[in-house]
Amino acid sequence: MAGILILGATSPIARELALLFALDGAKLYLAARDLTEAERIAKDIAIRTGAQAVAGEFDAADFGAHAAFVERATVALGELDGAIVCFGTLGDETAAREDPDKALAIVNQNYTGAVSLMTLIAQRLERRRTGFIIAIGSVAGERGRARNYVYGSAKAALAVFTQGLRARLAAAGVHVMTVKLGTVDTRMTWGRNSLLVVAPEAAARSIHAAWRRGADVVYVPWFWRPIMAAIRMIPERLFKRTSF
């Protein structure tokens, strides 16, 4: 039975991914800042699937606690076979333009926290020469836009980090998959263009299917790949005048 650590387990996509991996027979460690909610999700999944699911608390920005946390999760699972990095936040982009602390908070929650945790996880998987890491990023990292460049820059850095990690771990048989996620239907995105919004359930199924086929990079939904390809082709002198 594979032992899988899900970081940011209370997000809608993480919940759906947890259910899918539980149905595969995996043992789950669901980690989040909100321990009470993570425990509730773990109990629900255990009842619905019969899989073993436990919960733990972690803070992406508490770097000094990460090593002990990964050790606890590994002990609880018996062995760490895979990890899914689902945490992140849009933050207050307007405030981040003026306040360095707000900007750094966005970067820490979306990038540096993930780097710290994935580095520790990668060491374990590389030694075992097996396993996987799935990192959920964003299409916002494809190009810096005026309205969300702090968040976008963190997701861009995450994509480059996972690309390099994938190259490093390939020889050890460890699969690293980068997810470039579009807009997901949550409370934070209510009211946006419904034609470009994906339900968490559909997003999770796409991610799970891409992992099964061994994809390296996947856009979710798929149509964001051609959209972002077109956006990347816009000359900078024109792009900087856009407001989308």
- What's the CATH number where 228 sits? 3.40.50.720
Burial of 193 (0-12, 13-18, 19+ CB in 10 A): exposed
Within-domain flag for 129: yes
Q: Residue 92 has which token pair?
A: 């207050």
Query: How far apart are the C-alpha atoms of 52 and 58, rounded to whole Å?
Result: 20
Look up residue 103 and give its amino acid: A
Q: What is the pLDDT of residue 23?
A: 96
Among 29, 111, 149, 151, the active-site one is 151
Distance CA 67, CA 58 (A): 11
Residue type, 109: Q
Residue 244 within any structural domain of the chain: no
Give a yes or no: residue 212 inside a domain: yes
What pLDDT sits at residue 240?
A: 83
Residue 169, pLDDT score: 98
Per-residue tokens: 117: 């945790």
Strands (E), 117-216: 132-138, 175-181, 183-184, 197-198
Asked if residue 223 is part of any domain, the answer here is yes
* E strand residue ranges, 15-160: 27-32, 53-57, 82-85, 132-138
Q: What does the pLDDT look like over 157-189, one tens digit per residue?
A: 999 999 999 999 999 999 999 999 998 876 555
Q: Which domain holds residue 169?
A: 3-239
Q: Is residue 172 part of a domain?
A: yes
Taking the C-alpha atoms of residue 58 and residue 85, their distance in angstroms, rounded to an integer, is 12
pLDDT at 82: 97
- What's the confidence (pLDDT) of residue 83? 98
CA distance 181 to 5: 20
pTM given for the model: 0.93
Pick from 202, 158, 152: which is nearest to 179 by CA?
A: 158
Q: What share of the chain is helix, strand, coil (3-state, %, to 5)?
A: 55, 15, 30
Q: How is residue 158 written in tokens?
A: 């995450």
User: CA Rg, the chain, in Å?
Assistant: 18
Q: Is the dihedral of CA 12, 147, 135, 207 positive or negative?
A: positive
In a domain, 88, yes or no: yes
pLDDT at res. 195: 62
Span between the terminal Cα atoms of the chain, in Å: 45
How many structural domains comprise the chain?
1
Helices 113-128 and 149-170, axial angle in degrees (round to 10): 10
Mark the ranges of the chain whose per-residue pLDDT is less than 50. none
pLDDT for position 147: 85
Asked if residue 42 belongs to a domain, the reply is yes
Any catalytic annotation for residue 151? Answer: yes
